[in-house]
Each structure stands twice: as C-alpha cells, then as structure tokens.
Structure 1
Amino acid sequence: MVQTPTEESAPLPKVPIPTLERLTTYLRCLVDLGASDVHTISSAQIEQYTSISAAQFRKDLSYFGEFGKPGVGYQVAELEARIARILQIHKLQPILLIGAGNLGMALAAYPGLTEHKFRIVALFDSDPNKIGKRVHGMDIIDFNRMGEINIALQAQMAILAVPTSAAQAAADCAIQSGVRALLNFAPTALKVPPGVVVRHVSFLQELAVLSYHLTETEKRGQ
C-alpha cells in the first residue's frame, strides 16, 4: 500500500501562485460551510459556491496528496484543517505592521486577520507625533526599535503600509529584524535578499484592470 505523504513530512512540489490564491478561496468557503453545519461537500458544490471549476479544484488539491473519497466527497472540517495546515495558518502567525497612517490604522482594525490566525503583534512608525499613542489595543512603537522588539516576538511576516519613499528602508529594517515575508502596499518594487518573499498589493493596478474589463464589456454590449 502506498502511503500518502503528509504536508509536514514530505517536500512539497513547486506550487503555482494562483493555486495558493485559490486555496484561500476554498478555505473561506469551507469555514462558512462549517459555520452553517454542512459536513460533506462535493467538488461540484465547491464550483457552485466559488465559481472555480470542479476540475480546477481537484487539480489544485492534487499538489498536496489525496483528498476526499469517491462517491462520498470531502469532509468539510477535515478539508478545512488540511488546507489551513498547507498554508501554515493552522497556528498563530504573528505579524509586524509598519506604518501607522490611514492604511495602517485600517489594517490594524481589520477583524478578518484574527479569524485566520494572523495577528498584528506590533505597530511601528517613525513619526514622533504618533510614537507612544495607543490604537486598537497596541502602542505605536518607534520604527528604530523594531529589531529589539522582534527578538521577543519572533515575527517572520510584516506588512508595509508606508509611503513609496520609505518602503525600501522599512523592508530593510524588517529583514534585519528577522522578517522573511513581506506584504507591500507601497507602489514600488523592493530589493530583497534570497530567501525573502514579497507580495505586492496595488489598488491602482487592480482598479486599472477593472477599468479595462469594464470598457471591454461596454464594447461587447454595443
């Protein structure tokens, strides 16, 4: 009998980024289904709830081993737990938030992070007028103390909610403090050493894509 590798004991194949993005969609769907007391689900039903094809769903899961039973489907709680473990959000992920401006404040207040085991554990800024103020249960800490503070927190993820001009310095400081994964909201490319992962979030880019699709839809409707 061939033993199915577990997520923790076997090296994973190189997984396409779109697959990982879709896993978060499946996870959100499964959390909602579990809350609605749904215990089993088929790939066809996943397609119905997420608009991602059943074939794509099965292909995405195939990167990580065997899931479900033919004729029975998937146990919602089990599948939710396995996807959470694959994404390493079955346990608390501490995050440093750099930037206490409007965007940083909105992110600090966002309740959806804790629902998926992400917790902002420290908030940093370089503005003397903000340092020391308490917001959303956290004190705004001097940016220059990041390395010292993270010795205790051991966070390996950080969110950059800073202006473009400050993004590279913020990234450098976070990396020097032990961070190995960055979510960057500043509209600029970052230079990082090997082993550090960066994901860029650009509202302008997303709006531009929407604008293009809107124009194309209007053209087809003429």
Structure 2
Amino acid sequence: MKSVKIPSITIYRLSVYARNLAYLDKKNVEVISSEHLADICGINPAQIRKDLAYFGEFGVRGVGYYVKDLLYQLQKILRQDRQWHLGLIGVGNLGAALLQHTHFLKQGYVFVAAFEKDEQKIGKRVGNIIISDIRNLEDVTKKTGMEIGVIATGRSSAQEIVDRLVDAGIKGILNFAPIQLQVPENVFIEYVDFTIKLDVLCYRISSNERERSKLNSIFPKAGSNDKKY
C-alpha cells in the first residue's frame, strides 16, 4: 500500500489540537465535541475530522472525543511521548531567552547544549546550560546526544553552522536566522521569522483601514452631510 504524505499544515494543526486538549485535561474536561474543540482551536469541525482521519478513527459518534484518550494518541503521533534534546547556536538576547524559557521542558524539549563564538560568553551559565565554544560543536553534539539544532545566529554564519550540524548527524533544524538555508533531503528544517509575521499583520491592518475608508467614502455616515441650522 502506498504511504500517504501528511501535509505540513496538518501536523501544525495536530499540535494546536494537542495543546488545547492538554489544557482541557488539566481542567478535568472528560469529553468534548468536534464543534466545541473546533471553536477553541479556531478551526472548522470538518477540518479536525479530516486531519484526524489521516491517522485512524477517533471519537464516538453522538458523544465526541474523550479528551485524555485523544491527547494521548496525538502525543504519540507527534512523538511528544519522549524527550527531545536541543542544541542552541547563538546565545544573544533571543538565544538566552530561549534557554531560560520553561515551556519547552514542559513540552518535552530539553536544551542540552549551547554554543557561541564570543569568548566573553563561552563558559558562562545561562539557565541550566554552560555555553560551549562553537569550535567544539561536533564533539559536544555527540557527547550530549543533541537531536535538533536551534539556530539563533546572524544571517552570515547560518549556512556554515547548518553544514556542520548536518555533518554531525543532526536531522532537524529550527532556524531563527533571516535566511533560506540549504539542507539535504533527509534533513528537516523549520523557519521562525518574527518580521514576516509582523509584515503580515501590518498589511492586514492597513488593508482593513483602506477598506473602511473606501466604504466611508461610498456610504457617508448618516447625518454627515446634513445642513446645520
């Protein structure tokens, strides 16, 4: 049987479902309908059912989803049922904030190493991590069992860092540097660019204001042209 390729956006939505189900589980919610779950996640109910159908049958007709059971299944699918070892490259303001963010550990993502080229930062502790010299990247990667590289360097050095991570056996990379990186087919990379998100927000705000201005010019507010006596 030919394997079905799961769209990346589906995996993204599964993570959204799992996060909200975890919240519901903490609130001792036992059962939830697809409509209610969709409302919480901001997603169409039919889309939730379609996404879950890639992985099997979930829920009970006329009842809904058992929160704890569905959460368990999604965590298995997303491999949140184990810890993942992360290594950070670039301990600037962003990198330091990532190392000290407690939410990653709660989700099963553990920073086991951090690297810098700045000699004033090497050897210092940030969070629970002692910063290593970037020249020792390959050795530390193997010793710590790093599985995912998190790049928070500048644009100019990002590709070189990626090449070294790949040579060290890393198969997953989360990139904060503002550049598209080249990796082999068996290495997976995800991009996080706050500026692009802000660009989208600014466009939507401006576009909405232009539409409102256009509507106001076509349909003036009542009384705006009334003569005053």
Confirm or deny that 1:214 pairs with 2:216. Answer: no
Q: What's the offset of the Cα at 1:12? A: 5.7
Report the counterpart of residue 30 of structure 1 in structure 2: 21
> d(CA) in 2 for partners of 1:69 and 1:45?
15
> d(CA) in 1 for partners of 2:116 and 2:164?
12
From 119, 138, 152, give the equivalent of 1:161: 152
Confirm or deny that 1:65 pairs with 2:56. Answer: yes
**Identical-pair percentage:** 36
From 122, 145, 150, give the equivalent of 2:113: 122
Q: Is the 8 A contact 1:158 1:174 kept in 2?
A: yes
> d(CA) in 2 for partners of 1:221 and 1:25?
32
Confirm or deny that 1:102 pairs with 2:104. Answer: no
> d(CA) in 2 for partners of 1:11 and 1:100?
44
Q: What's the offset of the Cα at 1:30? A: 0.4
Please, which runs of 5 or more residues in structure 2 have no aligned partner? 214-229
Query: Aligned-pair RMSD on alpha carbons?
Result: 1.4
Q: For each residue in 1:133-178, what CA deviation from the matched residue of structure 2 results, as whole angstroms up to 9, or x when unmatched?
A: 1110210001121211222322221100000011011111111222
Distance 1:152 1:12, change over 3 A: farther
From 11, 22, 36, give the equivalent of 1:45: 36
TM-score, normalisation: structure 1: 0.92
> d(CA) in 1 for partners of 2:25 and 2:4?
29
Report the counterpart of residue 176 of structure 2 in structure 1: 185
> d(CA) in 2 for partners of 1:91 and 1:81?
12
Distance 1:52 1:92, change over 3 A: same
Report the counterpart of residue 137 of structure 1 in structure 2: 128
In the alignment of these two chains, the number of paired residues is 213
Report the counterpart of residue 10 of structure 2 in structure 1: 19
Q: Is the 8 A contact 2:111 2:129 kept in 1?
A: no
Q: Which runs of 4+ in 1 moved over 6 A?
A: none
Please, which runs of 5 or more residues in structure 1 have no aligned partner? 1-9
Q: Is the 8 A contact 1:12 1:63 kept in 2?
A: no
Which secondary structure state, in structure 2, belongs to the residue aligned with residue 38 of structure 1? Answer: coil
Which secondary structure state, in structure 2, belongs to the residue aligned with residue 213 of structure 1? Answer: helix
Q: Is the 8 A contact 1:163 1:186 kept in 2?
A: yes
TM-score, normalisation: structure 2: 0.89
Q: For each residue in 1:72-93, what CA deviation from the matched residue of structure 2 results, as whole angstroms up to 9, or x when unmatched?
A: 2111111111111111111001
